[in-house]
Amino acid sequence: MRLAELRNLSKRFGNRAVLDDITLQIDEGEILALLGPNGAGKTTLLKILAFLEKPDSGEVKFQGEAVTEKNAERMRLQSAMVFQRTLFFSTSVYNNVAYGLKMRKLPQNTIKEEVKKALRLVKLEGFEKRSVKKLSGGEQQRVALARALVLKTKLLLLDEPTANLDPKNVQIIEEVIGTINRELKTTMVMATHNMFQAKTLPQRIALMSDGRITEVGVPAEIFARLSRNLASFAAVDNTFTGTARITSAGTTIIDIGNGVQIEAAVQRQGLTSVFVTPQDIIVSKSPVVSSARNVFKGRIVEILDLGSLVKLKVDVGKSFTVQITKQSFSEMQLNLDSWVFLVFKASAVQVI
């Protein structure tokens, strides 16, 4: 059953066409991922589905009914969006999570119960009285999620829900998303950058680029065809294209250029695209003796401080994105231009 339908949507901001002739259906109970680089129009599309923005032309239908200025307010009660940048009311966790419920004029006791349940779901039990401003980035994002989930809307829109979070928080959030979809059959549309997430969470993927949807399909299909569309994913971390040949050991070596050869635990021949999740790469000051087949020496060319995590770009001939804890970063006394070794297993290499 179609929950929502977008037909020939276009939207401009000033001179720029942010969305260009978008047609998309959202089926009830599915998780649909919007995959694409920054500026592809994912956020705007989500906002239109949240009935926060109006398209310049085209049609939006929700549960068969056309969405207009007049009924948008009513429709919004059926959808909730979690923004990319965490935004809060300057008050307690409880008041934030309870906000939507208060707007819907539910009785106090019910609100209390529902907030408790929602916080338990995101593993923030007992956090009701805390001030949101004092929480960590990951905890804040979980509160934002709870704030939307507690409303039990038919449609949930998530804009990069796990961007820049540490693995623990990413895991919790991904679990919650899966649980809600399974148990409450909530329909979700999520925008993401993260190839791994896009492979595992959604039932369908829509590829977006320059305001257009280029392909829609199940993950397996999309990834199988992906190499042809790789230009779109230049922004995604650690994705490379190269020539593969099978070794006598039964593994595959892919030459991605500049003398960098990656060994993968699969069998491929010819033009292949691969990616390696940053979390799977170990950073070390000295070459580690281990079973890992991939060891590369390179220099740090970019450092991004994310609080408890530090993201690094290391040039080993090609640029790899890796992440380590702040503690490790200072213990190893790393800096721009520091030499490091990147180590990862052949099994960590995902072939697209």
Partner 1 sequence: MNPIIEGIIKAFELIFSGDPTVYGIVFRSLFFSGVAAILAALWGTPIAMLLGLRDFRGKSVVKGFFNSLIGMPTVALGLILFLTFSKAGPLGFLGLLYTPGAVMLGEAVLVTPLVISIATTAIEAVDPEMINLAKTLGASESQASITVLKEAINGVVFSDMASFNRAIAELGVALLVGGNIAGLTDVLTTDISKYTQRGGSDLAYAIALSIILMAIVFGINLIIIVARNPKVLATFGRSPQ
Measured from the CB of residue 77, what is the shortest distance to partner 1 in angstroms? 5
C-beta separation of 283 from 277 below 8 A: no
Nearer to partner 1, 76 or 311 (CB): 76
H/E stretch holding 117 reads: helix 108-121
Q: Which is nearer to partner 1, 77 or 295 (CB)?
A: 77
| Closer residue to partner 1, CB minimum distance, 6 or 148 | 148
For residues 210 to 239, the per-residue mask of contacts with partner 1, x marking binding by CB under 8 A and - elsewhere, is: ------------------------------
Size of the site for partner 1 (CB under 8 A): 21
Q: Give the residue among 196, 135, 208 at the shortest CA–CA distance from 170.
A: 196
Burial label for 312, CB within 10 Å (0-12, 13-18, 19+), is buried
Rounded to 10 degrees, the C-alpha dihedral 235/238/244/246 comes to -150
Judged by CB under 8 A, the stretch of 72-80, 124-132, 232-240, 344-352 that binds partner 1 is: 72-80
Strand 155-159 to 187-192 pairing = parallel
Can residue 152 be called a binding residue for partner 1 (CB under 8 A)? no
Q: Does position 69 bind partner 1 by CB under 8 A? A: no
Q: Residue 270: how many CB atoms within 10 A of its CB? A: 7
> How far out from the chain centre does Cα 73 lie?
28
Angle 93-103/108-121 helices, nearest 10 degrees? 130
Residue 163 makes contact with partner 1 by CB under 8 A: no
What is the secondary structure of 74-94 as a DSSP string? Answer: HHHTTEEEE-SS----SSBHH
Applying CB under 8 A, among 148, 222, 264, 316 the residue interacting with partner 1 is 148
Which among 316, 259, 329, 308 has a CA at the least distance from the CA of 287?
316
Q: Is the CB of 147 or the CB of 193 nearer to partner 1?
A: 147
Interface residue with partner 1, options 11, 42, 142, 147 (CB under 8 A): 147
| Nearer to partner 1 among residue 83 and residue 341 (C-beta) | 83
**Is residue 41 part of the contact set for partner 1 (CB under 8 A)?**
no
**Per CB under 8 A, 133 contacts partner 1:** no
Helix (H/G/I), strand (E/B), else coil: 337: coil
When asked if residue 131 is in the footprint of partner 1 (CB under 8 A), the reply is no
Cβ(21)–Cβ(55) below 8 Å: no
- Rounded CA-CA distance 13/10 in Å is 10
Contact 118, 171 (CB under 8 A): no
Q: Give me the residues paired with residue 191 across strands.
A: 34, 159
Answer yes or no whether residue 142 interacts with partner 1 by CB under 8 A.
Answer: no
The reply to whether 31 sits near partner 1 by the rule CB under 8 A is no
Tell me which stretch binds partner 1 (CB under 8 A): 45-53, 130-138, 169-177, 335-343.
45-53
Q: How far is the CB of 19 from partner 1 (least distance, A)?
A: 17
User: Of 7, 12, 47, 123, which lies in the binding site for partner 1, with binding defined by CB under 8 A?
Assistant: 47
Instruction: List the interface residues with partner 1, window 74-113 (CB under 8 A).
Output: 76-77, 79-81, 83, 85, 87, 89-90, 99-100, 103-104
Q: Do 262 and 349 form a contact (C-beta atoms < 8 A)? A: yes
Using the CB atoms, write b or e for 171-181: b if 16+ within 10 Å. Answer: ebbbebbeebb
Q: How far apart are alpha carbons 148 and 242 in whole angstroms?
A: 42
| Rounded least distance, CB 18 to partner 1, Å | 16
Minimal distance, residue 81 CB to partner 1, in Å: 5
Of 33-41, 71-79, 238-246, 251-259: span binding partner 1 (CB under 8 A): 71-79
Summarize as ranges the residues that interact with partner 1 (CB under 8 A).
Answer: 47, 50, 52, 73, 76-77, 79-81, 83, 85, 87, 89-90, 99-100, 103-104, 147-148, 151
